[in-house]
Amino acid sequence: MNRLAGLLLALAIPAVAGQIPLSERRSGYELMRQDTRNLQDDDTANPGMLWVAEGKDLWSAKPDSASRACADCHGDASVSMKGVAARYPVFSASAGRPIDLEQRINACRTRQQHASPFAFESRELLALTAYIARQSRGMPIDVGSDPRLEPFLAAGREEFERRRGQLNLACTQCHDDNWGKHLGGSVIPQGHPTGYPIYRLEWQGVGSLQRRLRGCISGVRSEPYAYGAPELVNLELFLMWRARGMPLETPAVRP
Amino acid sequence: MKRREFLVVSGLGTAFGFASRAARATPAEEKEAILRLTGAAMVKQGRVTLDLPPLVENGNSVPLTVSVDSPMTAADHVKAIHVFVEKNPQPFVAAFHLGPRAGRAVVSTRIRLADTQTVVAICEMSDGSFWSGSADSVVTLAACTESE
Amino acid sequence: MATALIHVPASAKRGEIIQIKALISHVMEPGYRRTSLGAVIPRDILRRFVCTYNGEEIFRAEMYPAIAANPYFAFNTIASDSGTFEFTWSGDNGFSKRETVAIKVE
């Protein structure tokens, strides 16, 4: 009789009730082994710092002799870019929708530097994003409070909670309801994008949040959205809002 | 195949690897690789400590520190540390050449482990003796496959 | 164009044992992976890393495909004189990179 009551109760709880209370949020950092945490914490050993170093060079490089370098307008990145990555995605008036940091960098490339945009997941774009985001390391994520973002935040939440793919899984089922448990040999994190672009041991390189999302989406045997797709940016927006207040760790190391 | 393997290993510079070999190396190949290093000399167990995680975060990048108990003087020091594995595609991992100027015979790096296995370090001393140490590590695959 | 990050203490006392850390960006393609169409991705690894201190070799690593991507080494040396550390990486496809770092020893 008790088992039946328990089963009925379990079925009655709606999926949305699985949201993690703010105080119980944990970065993926806390679920890693000590060795990997040490690797992230050591700037002289963290492989992500190689991309940050390359980004620093790109910051001062002119796309061609006639164009300006990032530094020509923005000066010292440790000053001008402080806090920037912790606020992205933001609402772009010209786009009429949210854009992420990669899209913002490319908007600058085309409009201000009159240069061609970097391809998504290109070495240059990852390096520049990593360098800029590194300037916000330690700062609390502050995304989503702009009222213009409301419909996109709702769309992102819907992406997170909707079942998809042959495995018919929604992000929330693993990352809200079963975080901390194991999927195969891996511990399921809560899925907060606290350190992007990350150096992922599985990739043996640095990659963006969109790359990780596409990986997860294809992992449940669903066709992933293209890089830069509005669905992915909406999801990024929702995930950063879900992680609001948590400190940015870029460049993070993750398994 | 074995002779070609030896040439590539000694750095005589052919660009090809073992592209056609899908199979893993065996403990027997590791034994042979170690034997080629030590020859007829006896390998004593001890003085060599491997710091390796018992369970890896990811087999693509496993931190390894090898420490050798040695005074590191001109008269008595570590000449080289050779690291071997038994279940990777090939048994060699790295060879570190030290000397009395090292001060301390401790080297750290990150290695790849293809499967749960034992990692062995053979240390070559200045007096020609060989000492060995080993450590085990459990390797699991990542949970999801990705279509990159 | 590979990037290298090296950590050497800027100064040390004579006779002190110092730790040197060297990290370089390199894919270390092992030669065993295949594309989704089944073609083997050819090996492309670094094979040798040498550190000299005022011209004398103090550390050398011979690398095989089992060294993880973006190779990292931490090793020690006795700070003897002020001068220069030279780091050289070489490998497949004619790869070669050299970096130097100065140290003050008192």
Q: Does A183 touch chain B (CB under 8 A)?
A: yes
The token duo for A231 is 């669905």
User: What was the pLDDT predicted at A185?
Assistant: 81
Give the Cα separation of A141 and A152 in Å (integer): 18
With contact defined as 3+ CB pairs under 8 Å, the chains touching A are B, C
Q: pTM for this structure?
A: 0.90
* Contacts of residue A175, Cβ cutoff 8 Å, sequence gap at least 6: A188, A189, A190, A191
Closest partner CB to C61 (pick from B22, B94, B101): B94
Element (H, E) at A154: helix A150-161
Q: Does B98 map to a domain?
A: yes
Residue C42 to residue B19, Cβ atoms within 8 A: yes
ipTM of the complex: 0.96
**Measured between beta carbons, which residues in chain C are less than 8 angstroms from residue A54?**
3, 25
* C1: pLDDT strictly greater than 90: no
* A135: pLDDT strictly greater than 70: yes
The token duo for A170 is 């929604």
**Which candidate, B21, B140, B19, B34, places its Cα nearest to that of B86?**
B34
Q: Helices then strands (H, E): number in chain A?
A: 11, 7
Q: Does C41 touch chain A (CB under 8 A)?
A: no
Q: Does B54 touch chain A (CB under 8 A)?
A: no
Phi, psi of C61 (to 5 degrees): -125, 130
User: What was the pLDDT predicted at B124?
Assistant: 97
Residue type (1 letter), B119 = V
Q: Does B78 map to a domain?
A: yes
- B-facing residues of C in 75-94 (CB < 8 A) are 75-78, 80, 92-93
User: What was the pLDDT predicted at C106?
Assistant: 94
**Measured between beta carbons, which residues in chain A are less than 8 angstroms from residue C72?**
45, 47
Task: For residue C20, give the CATH number of its domain.
Answer: 2.60.40.10
Give residue C77's pLDDT band: very low, low, confident or very high (50, 70, 90): very high
**C85, C101 contact by CB (below 8 A):** yes
- Residues for chain B: how many in total? 148
**B110, B62 contact by CB (below 8 A):** yes
**Number of separate domains in chain C:** 1
Q: Does B2 map to a domain?
A: no
* Averaged pLDDT score across all residues of chain A: 93
Active site residue A70: no
Cα C46–Cα C52–Cα C58 angle in degrees, nearest 5:
95
Task: For residue B133, give the CATH number of its domain.
Answer: 2.60.40.2470
Cα B143–Cα A37–Cα B132 angle in degrees, nearest 5:
85
Structural domain containing residue B54: 40-137
Closest partner CB to A47 (pick from C21, C23, C74): C23
Q: Does C74 touch chain A (CB under 8 A)?
A: yes
Domains along chain A with CATH numbers: 26-43+140-254 (1.10.760.10), 50-60+70-134 (1.10.760.10)
The token duo for B73 is 């003087």
* C54: pLDDT strictly greater than 60: yes
Q: Does B52 map to a domain?
A: yes
Give the Cα separation of A140 and A246 in Å (integer): 5
| Residue C19, beta-bridge partner list | C76
**Number of separate domains in chain B:** 1
Give the Cα separation of A240 and A247 in Å (integer): 11
Residue A184 to residue B143, Cβ atoms within 8 A: yes
**Which candidate, C78, C55, C18, C54, places its Cα nearest to that of B71?**
C78
Residue with the larger pLDDT of the pair B131 and B140? B131
Place of tokens 């040390």: C12
Pairing of the two strands B106-111 and B62-68: antiparallel
Q: Determine the residue of chain C that is closest to A39 in CA distance.
A: C72
**Which candidate, B54, A51, B56, B32, places its Cα nearest to that of C68?**
B56
Give residue C39's pLDDT band: very low, low, confident or very high (50, 70, 90): very high
Pairing of the two strands B48-51 and A253-254: unpaired
Task: Provide the terminal-to-terminal Cα distance of chain C, rounded to the nearest Å.
Answer: 36
Q: B113 vs chain C: nearest CA distance in angstroms?
A: 7
Q: Determine the residue of chain B that is closest to A38 in CA distance.
A: B63
